[in-house]
Structure 1
Amino acid sequence: MDLSLIMFASGVIFGGASAILATNKNRDPLVWFAIGFVFSFIALIVIAALSPIVKSQSTTGKSSHKNKSNGFPDNPVDPERPWLG
């Protein structure tokens, strides 16, 4: 087998795996496919270690009540620290 065919096949496999993980973590799968294709196993480790991106409330259709004076929400919700609000 030719070495370039093996490198191409491993790039497609690692790129696809990186894209799948990126989709599950709300990141751009096309960019992560390209990164996984070029950097193979390293990219797979990096995307696996990254935390998911949390979608903002404005994209989910919920309105955010922000204080007009400072731009921060009046009633913030923090699941890790429920005593804050």
Structure 2
Amino acid sequence: MPIYAYRCDPCGFQKDHLQKLSDPVLSTCPECGEETYAKQVTSAGFQLKGNGWYATDFKGGPPPAAAKAQAKESAPPCAGGTGACPCAGS
């Protein structure tokens, strides 16, 4: 279950709440009782450390599929610049 940070603007009360994804968003401040309790945008609570795929793959450039598509787009046309490519069966 994710932990969400909430804050009430008028009174400044802040608290983290453990909630299911299906739980309704809280709106009533537990401190002052106003309907101004709002969910805050926070950063993810984990970091990728070590030398796994996220640290080594694609570090030097685009992923292989993107590199292949980019090479295909920049390749010169076949058959003397007419655009027709006899090697592709067209």
Would the TM-score normalized by the shorter structure come out above 0.5?
no
Which structure has more strand as a fraction of its residues?
Answer: 2
Q: TM-score, normalised by structure 1?
A: 0.22
Q: TM-score, normalised by structure 2?
A: 0.21
Flag the structure with larger Rg: 2
